[in-house]
Structure 1
Amino acid sequence: MHTDESDLATYNAVSKWLMYQGVMIAADRLKVEYATLIEEKMNSSKEAYPEIRVEEIFSRICKDNSIWDINHHKLGIETARVFRSASLRRLEVFPQSHQLIKDNPHLKKCVLSNGQRVFSELEMRFLGIYELFDLVIFSSDVRYKKPNPKLYQLAMHKMKLNPDEILFIGDTPENDIIVPKKMGMKAIHINEAWEHMNDML
C-alpha cells in the first residue's frame, strides 16, 4: 500500500468533493488545518505514542467550514474515506504474505496495525483478507500506537496467548521486532518470514 498525503492534489480532490456536501474550504487551507488539528490532538494526549481518529479531524473541519446544516459526525467519516481514496496510489497484498496466511490455517492470526479503522478495515475486506484473521486491532481503536507495549498486551489478552507462544512478523524494526522481542515474543522481518516461515512452524 502506498499513499501520498503531502500532495496538494489530494486536498484539492477532497476540497472539491466537500463543496457538494456543504463545506467550503480551499485545498491549501484544508491541508494546513488537517495538519494543525492532528498536531493539536497529538500534543493533548497523555500517551507516549498517541493516535488520532482521522474521522474526528475531518468532522471538526467540516463543522467549522460548513455553509449549510450538515451532520458533521457522519460527514467526517465519509470525508476520511474520500481523503484516503484521493491519497491512495497503490493498494495490493503481497502474494507471499497472502500465501503464508493461507498455508497456515491452524495458527491463530492477528493484525496489529498503526492504522485507521475507518478506511483500513474496508481496504482489507476489499482485498479479501480481513476474514483470514482471528483478530484485527488498529491503533485508532485505542488512541495509542506501536511501539506502546499496551497495544501488544491488548492483543495478547484478546488472543489468550503468552508472549512465548507468539511469532510477530512485520517490516518496521522498532515496532515489529525490537519491542516484541523485549516482551518475550519471537519476532522476524517480513522478508525473513517469506523465506523461512514453513521451516519455522
Structure 2
Amino acid sequence: MQFDYIIIGAGSAGNVLATRLTEDPQTTVLLLEAGGPDYRFDFRTQMPAALAFPLQGRRYNWAYETEPEPHMNNRRMECGRGKGLGGSSLINGMCYIRGNAMDLDNWASAPGLEHWSYLDCLPYYRKAETRDIGANDYHGGDGPVSVTTPKQGNNPLFHAMIEAGVQAGYPRTDDLNGYQQEGFGPMDRTVTPQGRRASTARGYLDQARARPNLTIRT
C-alpha cells in the first residue's frame, strides 16, 4: 500500500496530525503506534483520581531512564512516556496549562517567528478546546479536547491551597489560562464532562477512526 503521509507515533502530536490531515478525503495517512491499542478498557487509565496508576510498571509507560545524573549520586531518573494510542496523554496528570504569553511574545521577536506571538496562537488554543463552563475570549466551546475547571466548593483542600497562596502575598487569578496567568487559582484539566481522561485518542482520533483514508496500525 502507498500513503501520502506516514506518522510514527500515535501520541499527543501524532493523533492531532493524523486527524487534521485526513479531513481532506484525498489525503491518505498511515498512523503507526508501537505501544499497542487503545487502553480505555482499563478504567484506571481513564479515572482522574487514579492518575498515578498508568505510570506504574511498563504496561502503559515506556519508562525511559536518563543517563546517570552526577548531581544526584549518579542515579538514573525515570522519564515516563505513554505507551499506546494517546501517547503521553494516556498517562499524564491531565493538567491543562498553556505557555506563558510573555514567552510566546519573546519567541515572536526572533527572525522568522513573527507569527508566533500570543495573540497569533490564541485562536488555535481556543479552537482545540471545549471548556465545560463555556467559551469566552480566551477559551473555546466546540473543540476536540474537553477541558474542565474546578468549581467553587468542590474540594476544601483546593480552596485552602489558593487561600494560602493569597495570604502569602501572591496574586489570585480565576483563570490560569486567561488574562492573568500569574498567581494562585483553579487549574484546568483535560477531563470530559463525564469525568474521564480526555486524551488525544479520545479527543482527536475518535472522530477520524472511521475515515477510509486513515489506516491505524498498533
- In the superposition, the TM-score normalised over structure 1's length comes to 0.26
More helix by proportion, 1 or 2? Answer: 1
Identify which of structures 1 and 2 has the higher relative contact order when contacts are C-alpha pairs closer than 8 Å and 6+ apart.
2
